[in-house]
Amino acid sequence: MLKQAINPAETTAQSVLSVKNLESYYGPIMAIRGVSLEVPEGQIVTVLGANGAGKTTLLKTISGVMNPEKGEIWYGGRNIAGEEPDRVVKAGIVHVPEGREVFPLLTVEENLKMGAYVRRDPKGVAEDHEMVYGYFPILAERRRQAAGTLSGGQQQMLAIGRGLMARPKLMLLDEPSLGLSPLLVKEIFTIIRRLNREQGVTMMLVEQNAKVALEVADYGYVMELGRLVMADDAKRLLQSKDVQEFYLGVQGETQRGQKRWKQKKTWR
Ligand code: ATP
């Protein structure tokens, strides 16, 4: 059902990341099955999918935490597939993992410093501390507090802030909405959008929460069992019947006119 090209761009933007035929395994289990996608510079691209679809594995493979078995990951004019994570960070790709993973015993300030470990420009790092505090004022208030004592939403803000401290060109965000209240999700996604627009950070956003992700994204892919099964402009995906039924819980009508939840179907 992947009618359109797996290629966002009808847009003219140049791709900052180009993934070609990627395959990744956990032992004998093939988690990513020939994924190809493009992330155009300056855009927010989302990858949607249910639990276990392979979204996290895709991000881990891009950031070098996992080695792919096959395929290419083109970034900055070279194929970075299989490179060590620290080289990938130095090249400008930062991965904000699922579940935040802040350093709980370190303070907010120390966590932010850790994000800048690859940098050698103390003045720029100091400026970026202030930039992060500007976007997340609550972190400035709590700068001397241990990260483990922050709320879930504040830890998510810190994880994003720590990622920003590497001054990334491309940020990989894994389920930033996970476990947060709708109000906090809205707040965090508004900031993600602002960071994209104001700081020029290209975003690849993996989400199960399709609605918030498609509202903030420019382009979207849908992943199922390790494969991409749909690709389209985010606004068109929001309107797509399949996406509405599958991910947005939009109700259909029975012949008798009674409301019911439509049967789950797969695209393959
Ligand atoms: P979630 O939203 O739950 O993180 P996901 O779309 O990110 O889901 P992945 O975590 O990438 O999915 O998992 C893809 C597949 O790989 C699943 O079938 C999962 O069971 C399997 N898998 C993930 N991690 C491991 C692991 N450490 N060892 C073995 N299999 C794994």
The CA distance from 27 to 165, in Å, is 34
CATH code for position 178 = 3.40.50.300
Query: Residue 161's closest CA among 181, 119, 191, 193?
Result: 191
Q: What is the pLDDT of residue 118?
A: 84
Q: What is the pLDDT of residue 203?
A: 98
The CA distance from 166 to 79, in Å, is 21
Between residues 10 and 187, the one the model is more confident about = 187
Average pLDDT of span 19-28: 96
pLDDT in tens, 207-263: 989 999 999 999 999 999 999 999 999 999 999 888 887 776 655 544 444 444 444
**Mean pLDDT for the chain overall:** 88
In a domain, 174, yes or no: yes
The CA distance from 117 to 134, in Å, is 21
Query: Residue 76's closest CA among 1, 176, 175, 169?
Result: 169
How many angstroms separate the alpha carbon of residue 52 from the centre of ligand 1? 5
In a domain, 84, yes or no: yes
Q: Is the CB of 245 under 6 A from ligand 1?
A: no
Q: By alpha-carbon position, which residue is closest to atom 19 of ligand 1?
A: 52
Q: What is the pLDDT of residue 268?
A: 47
Q: What percentage of the chain exceeds 70 in pLDDT?
A: 87
Q: Is the CB of 53 under 6 A from ligand 1?
A: yes
Q: Is the CB of 163 under 6 A from ligand 1?
A: no
In a domain, 197, yes or no: no
| pLDDT above 60 (res 266) | no
Burial code (b: 16+ CB inside 10 Å, e: under 16) for 167-196 equals bbbbbbbbbbbeebeeebbebbbebbeebb
Number of domains in the chain: 1
In a domain, 242, yes or no: yes
In a domain, 109, yes or no: no
Q: Is the CB of 115 under 6 A from ligand 1?
A: no
- In this structure, is the dihedral angle defined by the CA atoms of residues 180, 218, 43 and 61, taken in order, positive or negative? positive
Q: Is the CB of 29 under 6 A from ligand 1?
A: yes
In a domain, 87, yes or no: yes
The CA distance from 248 to 211, in Å, is 6
Residue 98 φ/ψ, nearest 5 degrees: -60, 140
Q: By alpha-carbon position, which residue is closest to atom 11 of ligand 1?
A: 54
Q: Is the CB of 55 under 6 A from ligand 1?
A: yes
Which structural domain, as residue segments, surrounds residue 35?
Answer: 1-92+170-182+202-250+259-268
SS (H, E, C) the chain: CCCCCCCCCCCCCCEEEEEEEEEEEECCEEEEEEEEEEEECCCEEEEEECCCCCHHHHHHHHHCCCCCCEEEEEECCEECCCCCHHHHHHCCEEEECCCCCCCCCCEHHHHHHHHCCCCCCHHHHHHHHHHHHHHCHHHHHCCCCEHHHCCHHHHHHHHHHHHHCCCCCEEEEECCCCCCCHHHHHHHHHHHHHHHHHHCCEEEEEECCHHHHHHHCCEEEEEECCEEEEEEEHHHHHHCHHHHHHHCCCCEECCCCCEECCCCCCCC
**Backbone φ/ψ region at 34: left (φ over 0), alpha (ψ -120 to 50), beta:** left
Q: Is the CB of 137 under 6 A from ligand 1?
A: no
| pLDDT above 70 (res 50) | yes
| pLDDT above 80 (res 13) | no
Q: By alpha-carbon position, which residue is closest to atom 30 of ligand 1?
A: 26
In a domain, 187, yes or no: no
Query: Residue 220's closest CA among 190, 16, 212?
Result: 212
| pLDDT above 80 (res 7) | no
Mutate to test the pocket of ligand 1, among 35, 47, 57, 247 (most ligand atoms within 8 A of CB): 57
Q: Is the CB of 98 under 6 A from ligand 1?
A: yes
Question: Residue 211 class from Cβ within 10 Å (0-12 exposed, 13-18 middle, 19+ buried)?
Answer: middle
In a domain, 157, yes or no: no
Q: How many CB atoms lie within 10 A of CB 151?
A: 13
Q: What is the pLDDT of residue 5?
A: 42
* Residue 27 Cα: closest atom of ligand 1: 29
Q: Is the CB of 52 under 6 A from ligand 1?
A: yes
